[in-house]
Amino acid sequence: MKAITKDLEICAVYMIINTKNGKRYIGSSKNVRIRMWDHRAELRHNYHANYLLQNDWNEYGEDSFEYSIIEVCNIDDKFVREKFYIDTLKPEYNICIDDVVNPPQMKESHKKQSITRKARMATGEISVTNNKPVFVYYKDGSFVGKWISIKAAARALGIHCSSAHRVVQGIDTQTNGYKFFLEPQEYVAPFNKKKADNSKKYIVTNIETNEEIEFESLLKMNEYFNTSVKARNFILSNKPYKGKYMIKYKTAVS
Protein backbone atom coordinates (compact mmCIF):
# COMPACT_ATOMS: atom_id res chain seq x y z
CA MET A 1 0.00 0.00 0.00
CA LYS A 2 1.38 3.39 -0.98
CA ALA A 3 2.26 6.06 1.56
CA ILE A 4 -0.58 7.88 3.34
CA THR A 5 0.25 11.52 2.65
CA LYS A 6 -0.84 14.87 4.10
CA ASP A 7 -2.89 15.74 1.02
CA LEU A 8 -5.42 13.16 2.27
CA GLU A 9 -6.47 15.41 5.17
CA ILE A 10 -9.81 15.96 3.43
CA CYS A 11 -13.41 14.87 3.80
CA ALA A 12 -14.10 12.36 1.06
CA VAL A 13 -15.41 8.98 -0.07
CA TYR A 14 -12.49 6.58 -0.60
CA MET A 15 -11.94 3.11 -2.00
CA ILE A 16 -9.51 0.33 -1.07
CA ILE A 17 -8.94 -2.17 -3.88
CA ASN A 18 -7.27 -5.56 -4.00
CA THR A 19 -5.16 -5.39 -7.16
CA LYS A 20 -4.95 -9.19 -7.32
CA ASN A 21 -8.67 -10.00 -7.51
CA GLY A 22 -10.28 -6.59 -8.08
CA LYS A 23 -12.39 -6.66 -4.93
CA ARG A 24 -13.17 -3.27 -3.39
CA TYR A 25 -14.05 -1.61 -0.09
CA ILE A 26 -15.75 1.79 0.02
CA GLY A 27 -15.89 4.11 3.02
CA SER A 28 -16.00 7.79 3.92
CA SER A 29 -14.32 9.98 6.50
CA LYS A 30 -14.01 13.63 7.48
CA ASN A 31 -10.23 13.03 7.48
CA VAL A 32 -9.25 10.28 5.04
CA ARG A 33 -5.60 10.34 6.13
CA ILE A 34 -6.45 9.38 9.72
CA ARG A 35 -9.01 6.80 8.58
CA MET A 36 -6.51 5.15 6.23
CA TRP A 37 -3.96 5.00 9.08
CA ASP A 38 -6.58 3.20 11.17
CA HIS A 39 -7.38 0.74 8.36
CA ARG A 40 -3.71 -0.04 7.75
CA ALA A 41 -2.85 -0.43 11.45
CA GLU A 42 -5.79 -2.76 12.11
CA LEU A 43 -5.03 -4.85 9.02
CA ARG A 44 -1.33 -5.09 9.87
CA HIS A 45 -2.13 -6.26 13.41
CA ASN A 46 -4.82 -8.68 12.21
CA TYR A 47 -7.80 -7.25 14.10
CA HIS A 48 -9.74 -5.38 11.41
CA ALA A 49 -13.50 -5.66 11.97
CA ASN A 50 -14.10 -6.49 8.29
CA TYR A 51 -13.14 -10.16 8.16
CA LEU A 52 -13.37 -10.35 4.35
CA LEU A 53 -10.85 -7.55 3.92
CA GLN A 54 -8.65 -8.93 6.71
CA ASN A 55 -8.61 -12.46 5.25
CA ASP A 56 -7.54 -11.26 1.81
CA TRP A 57 -4.96 -8.90 3.33
CA ASN A 58 -3.45 -11.89 5.15
CA GLU A 59 -3.54 -14.02 2.00
CA TYR A 60 -2.34 -11.57 -0.65
CA GLY A 61 -0.21 -9.20 1.46
CA GLU A 62 -0.12 -5.45 1.97
CA ASP A 63 1.49 -4.75 -1.41
CA SER A 64 -1.63 -6.10 -3.15
CA PHE A 65 -3.83 -3.28 -1.81
CA GLU A 66 -4.14 0.31 -2.98
CA TYR A 67 -6.49 3.16 -2.13
CA SER A 68 -7.94 6.08 -4.05
CA ILE A 69 -10.28 9.02 -3.51
CA ILE A 70 -13.62 8.64 -5.26
CA GLU A 71 -15.16 11.98 -4.36
CA VAL A 72 -14.27 14.94 -2.15
CA CYS A 73 -17.41 16.04 -0.32
CA ASN A 74 -18.79 18.08 2.59
CA ILE A 75 -18.92 16.51 6.05
CA ASP A 76 -22.72 16.70 6.09
CA ASP A 77 -22.92 14.80 2.78
CA LYS A 78 -20.30 12.10 3.27
CA PHE A 79 -22.66 9.34 4.47
CA VAL A 80 -25.10 10.00 1.63
CA ARG A 81 -22.29 9.96 -0.95
CA GLU A 82 -20.79 6.83 0.58
CA LYS A 83 -24.10 5.02 0.32
CA PHE A 84 -24.53 6.21 -3.28
CA TYR A 85 -21.25 4.61 -4.34
CA ILE A 86 -21.89 1.44 -2.35
CA ASP A 87 -25.32 1.07 -3.97
CA THR A 88 -23.88 1.85 -7.41
CA LEU A 89 -20.59 -0.09 -7.39
CA LYS A 90 -21.59 -2.96 -5.06
CA PRO A 91 -18.10 -3.29 -3.49
CA GLU A 92 -17.31 -6.87 -2.54
CA TYR A 93 -15.69 -6.13 0.84
CA ASN A 94 -18.55 -4.04 2.22
CA ILE A 95 -20.17 -6.68 4.42
CA CYS A 96 -23.42 -4.83 5.14
CA ILE A 97 -24.25 -2.90 1.99
CA ASP A 98 -27.63 -1.82 3.37
CA ASP A 99 -26.12 -0.80 6.72
CA VAL A 100 -24.00 2.25 5.90
CA VAL A 101 -23.34 4.28 9.04
CA ASN A 102 -25.96 6.96 9.59
CA PRO A 103 -25.01 10.56 10.41
CA PRO A 104 -24.35 11.15 14.13
CA GLN A 105 -27.46 11.70 16.23
CA MET A 106 -27.84 14.39 18.87
CA LYS A 107 -28.20 13.10 22.42
CA GLU A 108 -31.80 14.23 22.67
CA SER A 109 -32.67 12.04 19.69
CA HIS A 110 -31.25 8.80 21.14
CA LYS A 111 -34.43 7.97 23.07
CA LYS A 112 -36.61 8.72 20.03
CA GLN A 113 -34.40 6.58 17.83
CA SER A 114 -34.58 3.68 20.29
CA ILE A 115 -38.37 3.80 20.21
CA THR A 116 -38.32 3.89 16.41
CA ARG A 117 -36.02 0.87 16.21
CA LYS A 118 -38.25 -1.12 18.57
CA ALA A 119 -41.24 -0.32 16.37
CA ARG A 120 -39.36 -1.40 13.24
CA MET A 121 -38.29 -4.65 14.91
CA ALA A 122 -41.88 -5.32 15.96
CA THR A 123 -43.01 -5.09 12.33
CA GLY A 124 -40.16 -7.27 11.13
CA GLU A 125 -38.49 -4.46 9.19
CA ILE A 126 -35.37 -4.96 11.33
CA SER A 127 -34.50 -8.48 12.37
CA VAL A 128 -33.72 -9.25 15.99
CA THR A 129 -30.25 -10.78 16.17
CA ASN A 130 -28.48 -12.83 18.82
CA ASN A 131 -25.82 -10.14 19.27
CA LYS A 132 -25.09 -9.16 22.83
CA PRO A 133 -26.55 -5.83 23.95
CA VAL A 134 -24.12 -2.99 24.57
CA PHE A 135 -24.31 -0.18 27.13
CA VAL A 136 -22.81 3.19 26.18
CA TYR A 137 -21.60 5.96 28.49
CA TYR A 138 -20.33 9.43 27.63
CA LYS A 139 -17.01 10.95 28.79
CA ASP A 140 -18.71 12.83 31.63
CA GLY A 141 -19.83 9.47 33.05
CA SER A 142 -23.47 9.86 31.99
CA PHE A 143 -25.44 6.94 30.54
CA VAL A 144 -26.19 7.41 26.84
CA GLY A 145 -28.24 4.33 26.09
CA LYS A 146 -28.51 0.61 25.49
CA TRP A 147 -28.46 -0.93 22.01
CA ILE A 148 -29.13 -4.46 20.81
CA SER A 149 -25.59 -4.78 19.42
CA ILE A 150 -22.27 -3.00 19.05
CA LYS A 151 -23.05 -2.38 15.39
CA ALA A 152 -26.37 -0.74 16.24
CA ALA A 153 -24.71 1.53 18.82
CA ALA A 154 -21.93 2.50 16.42
CA ARG A 155 -24.46 3.36 13.72
CA ALA A 156 -26.50 5.52 16.06
CA LEU A 157 -23.46 7.43 17.33
CA GLY A 158 -21.76 7.87 13.97
CA ILE A 159 -18.74 5.78 14.99
CA HIS A 160 -16.99 3.14 12.92
CA CYS A 161 -17.96 -0.31 14.16
CA SER A 162 -14.31 -1.38 14.41
CA SER A 163 -13.59 1.50 16.80
CA ALA A 164 -16.48 0.46 19.07
CA HIS A 165 -15.26 -3.16 19.04
CA ARG A 166 -11.79 -2.02 20.08
CA VAL A 167 -13.25 -0.33 23.17
CA VAL A 168 -15.33 -3.37 24.11
CA GLN A 169 -12.28 -5.61 23.70
CA GLY A 170 -10.22 -3.31 25.93
CA ILE A 171 -7.77 -2.34 23.17
CA ASP A 172 -8.86 1.32 23.46
CA THR A 173 -10.37 3.01 26.51
CA GLN A 174 -12.83 5.17 24.53
CA THR A 175 -13.69 6.45 21.08
CA ASN A 176 -15.10 9.88 20.22
CA GLY A 177 -15.81 10.40 23.92
CA TYR A 178 -17.84 7.20 24.31
CA LYS A 179 -17.22 4.05 26.34
CA PHE A 180 -18.86 0.72 25.48
CA PHE A 181 -19.66 -2.10 27.92
CA LEU A 182 -21.39 -5.46 27.58
CA GLU A 183 -22.87 -5.06 31.09
CA PRO A 184 -24.53 -2.04 32.76
CA GLN A 185 -22.15 -0.09 34.98
CA GLU A 186 -23.03 1.28 38.41
CA TYR A 187 -20.46 4.05 37.97
CA VAL A 188 -18.27 5.22 35.10
CA ALA A 189 -15.57 7.69 36.05
CA PRO A 190 -15.51 10.87 33.93
CA PHE A 191 -12.46 11.24 31.76
CA ASN A 192 -10.83 13.72 29.43
CA LYS A 193 -9.22 12.69 26.20
CA LYS A 194 -5.51 13.36 26.57
CA LYS A 195 -3.60 14.95 23.76
CA ALA A 196 -0.62 13.08 22.38
CA ASP A 197 2.52 13.81 24.34
CA ASN A 198 5.03 15.16 21.84
CA SER A 199 7.49 16.22 24.54
CA LYS A 200 9.08 12.79 25.11
CA LYS A 201 12.27 11.86 23.29
CA TYR A 202 12.51 8.57 21.44
CA ILE A 203 15.24 6.28 20.19
CA VAL A 204 14.49 4.04 17.20
CA THR A 205 16.78 1.09 16.46
CA ASN A 206 16.81 -0.72 13.13
CA ILE A 207 17.23 -4.33 14.26
CA GLU A 208 18.54 -5.31 10.82
CA THR A 209 21.40 -2.78 10.75
CA ASN A 210 21.64 -1.84 14.47
CA GLU A 211 21.42 1.81 13.40
CA GLU A 212 19.95 4.11 16.06
CA ILE A 213 18.08 7.33 15.37
CA GLU A 214 17.12 9.80 18.10
CA PHE A 215 13.97 11.91 17.81
CA GLU A 216 13.20 14.98 19.90
CA SER A 217 9.45 14.32 19.83
CA LEU A 218 6.73 11.97 18.61
CA LEU A 219 5.92 14.52 15.91
CA LYS A 220 9.47 14.34 14.53
CA MET A 221 9.36 10.55 14.50
CA ASN A 222 6.03 10.56 12.65
CA GLU A 223 7.44 12.96 10.08
CA TYR A 224 10.41 10.64 9.55
CA PHE A 225 8.20 7.59 8.95
CA ASN A 226 5.58 9.68 7.07
CA THR A 227 2.87 8.05 9.14
CA SER A 228 1.30 8.08 12.60
CA VAL A 229 3.19 5.82 14.98
CA LYS A 230 1.40 4.84 18.19
CA ALA A 231 4.78 4.62 19.90
CA ARG A 232 3.48 3.74 23.36
CA ASN A 233 1.81 0.55 22.03
CA PHE A 234 5.07 -0.70 20.54
CA ILE A 235 7.09 0.27 23.62
CA LEU A 236 4.77 -1.54 26.02
CA SER A 237 4.44 -4.63 23.83
CA ASN A 238 8.17 -4.68 23.01
CA LYS A 239 7.27 -5.45 19.40
CA PRO A 240 9.06 -3.97 16.38
CA TYR A 241 7.35 -1.30 14.31
CA LYS A 242 7.10 -2.36 10.63
CA GLY A 243 8.83 -5.55 11.68
CA LYS A 244 12.27 -4.02 12.07
CA TYR A 245 12.21 -0.85 14.20
CA MET A 246 12.39 -1.09 17.99
CA ILE A 247 11.10 2.05 19.72
CA LYS A 248 11.97 3.13 23.25
CA TYR A 249 11.96 6.30 25.32
CA LYS A 250 15.29 8.05 25.57
CA THR A 251 14.84 8.41 29.32
CA ALA A 252 12.74 6.44 31.78
CA VAL A 253 9.20 7.70 32.25
CA SER A 254 7.97 7.79 35.81
6-89 in CATH: which number?
3.40.1440.10
Give per-residue pLDDT as tens, 224-246.
877 776 777 777 778 888 888 89
* Contact between 197 and 186 (Cβ < 8 Å): no
- First and final CA of the chain: distance in angstroms? 38
The helix or strand, by DSSP H or E, that contains position 232, with its residue range, turns out to be helix 231-237
Assigned fold of 107-181: Arc Repressor Mutant, subunit A (1.10.10)
Domain range list for the chain? 6-89, 107-181, 202-249
Other CB atoms within 10 Å distance of the CB of residue 120: 12
Rounded to 5°, angle at Cα 215 from 195 and 46: 65
* Torsion angle in degrees (nearest 10) through CA of 105, 71, 84, 121: -20
Give per-residue pLDDT as tens, 97-120.
444 444 444 444 444 445 555 565
Spatial distance between the Cα atoms of 81 and 59, rounded to a whole number of angstroms: 31
Q: Model-level pTM?
A: 0.43
The two domains 6-89 and 107-181 share their CATH topology (first three levels equal): no
Positive or negative: CA dihedral 42, 43, 48, 53:
positive
Give per-residue pLDDT as tens, 17-39.
999 999 999 999 999 999 999 99
Q: Please tell me the least confidently modeled range out of 2-16, 45-59, 63-77, 182-196.
A: 182-196
Give per-residue pLDDT as tens, 120-170.
555 555 444 445 788 999 888 888 888 888 888 887 777 888 888 888 888
